[in-house]
Amino acid sequence: MIEFKLPDIGEGTAEGEIVKWLVSIGDAVKEHQAIVEVMTDKATVEVPAPADGTITELLVGEGDTVPVGDVIFRLDNGGGAPAQASSPEPAAVPSAPTAVAAQPEPSGGKVLAVPSARRVARELSVDLGTVAGSGRNGVIRRADVEAAATGGAVAQSSHSVVAPTTAQAQRIPFRGVRRKIAEAMVRSSQTAVHFTIVEEVDVTDLVRVRQKAKAIGAEQGIKVTFMPFIMKAVANGLMKFPMLNGHLDEQAEEIVLPGTVNLGIATDTPNGLIVPVISQVESKGLLQLAAELGDLSERTRAGRVRPEELRGSTFSITNAGNIGGTIATPIINFPDIAILGVHRIVKRPGVVDTPEGEVIEVRQYMNFSCSVDHRLADGADAARFVAYLRQILEEPALLSL
């Protein structure tokens, strides 16, 4: 009998949420067969069976949050005596670490809480003794602490969606990616001091250049959108204005400026907003960025992004321009210093300088909104950065510099 403990399926993961069981009690399974989908702060992964056998017990329900190291299912492999699973690597993320972390402290005068809840409680100055735990056996989760800090409460998870009727509203369980996004947004808004600066950019020439690049990329099977141009301009700008590129190490009380640009690209997926990372953007060409972006976006939407591809951003970009909206105030992807919002292109009359004088013609404009953590950077830093983006993107040939 194998007792399978929830493994650490991401760097430093303290807990995971059981999103969906893929098997039932009594099912015969094969080694490496996917048993359960687990959501962490970083990604959703499928946890595989450690051996051939029969599922005898599923110890937690869908929607439950479980500390790393807790037994989540038992598997009869015909070996007789009970044994602990070796917690093999999840099949969907072969490079993920599998070390087992400590369980929450037992109650001997101490509050039962997962490590991430204790850390957030320290950051938000919340007394854990006053927080009601919504986890199994009353364990306090990070969401409980954040709810207590805002005066709210975390509802117990529901395992079914109530069908709508003429007299009844639809109820959807608040869990999985949506809850993780909510937790991240609350933490960012309560920690970073946001301010946003908006710049209007005449992208008429960029539209023309991108059209030519699109044809060249198509010959190599690469889809070239506007994003590689924006990513390259951002990377050049961050190398010039490094105070917006990095994060705050709160424990060491140091601002970390890494000297390389790793861009988190907010991606709309069927499961919610995910932010995979493309690293060392400053050293890559436009076609390489386009190819990497296309591959990463496709795998992210399909749920095949690896945990290591969701870590290490130094700056983020969110682009809803293809959907709509001309201005927004994006929320910083904590712990980054800043984030850039990219908005839709609009056509309208503009004044253009020509050798014959000023003329009015139809031009194409795009707004960029940059939100910055005012604790770590000043308004002048953000203003210089977006002014540089305008200069580069209005004359895209300057990207070659």
Catalytic positions, please? 374
Largest CA distance in the chain: 92
CA–CA separation, 22 vs 357, rounded Å? 69
Helices (H), ranges, 104-258: 115-124, 142-149, 177-191, 204-219, 227-240
Per-state percent for the chain, helix, strand, coil, to nearest 5: 30, 30, 45
Residue 332: CB atoms within 10 Å: 24
CA–CA separation, 103 vs 117, rounded Å? 13
- Residue 289 has φ and ψ, to the nearest 5°, of -65, -40
- Tell me which DSSP letter residue 25 carries: T
The CA distances from residue 203 to 69, 94, 102, 210, in Å, are 53, 42, 53, 10
Residue 145: CB atoms within 10 Å: 27
CA–CA separation, 209 vs 203, rounded Å? 10
Contacts of 43 (CB under 8 A, 6+ apart): 9, 10, 93, 274, 305, 306, 307, 310
Q: Is 357 helix (H, G, I), strand (E, B) or coil?
A: strand
The H or E element that residue 300 is part of is: helix 286-301
The two beta strands, 53-58 and 28-29, are antiparallel
Task: Report whether 317 contacts 263 (CB < 8 A).
Answer: yes
Amino acid at site 116 = S
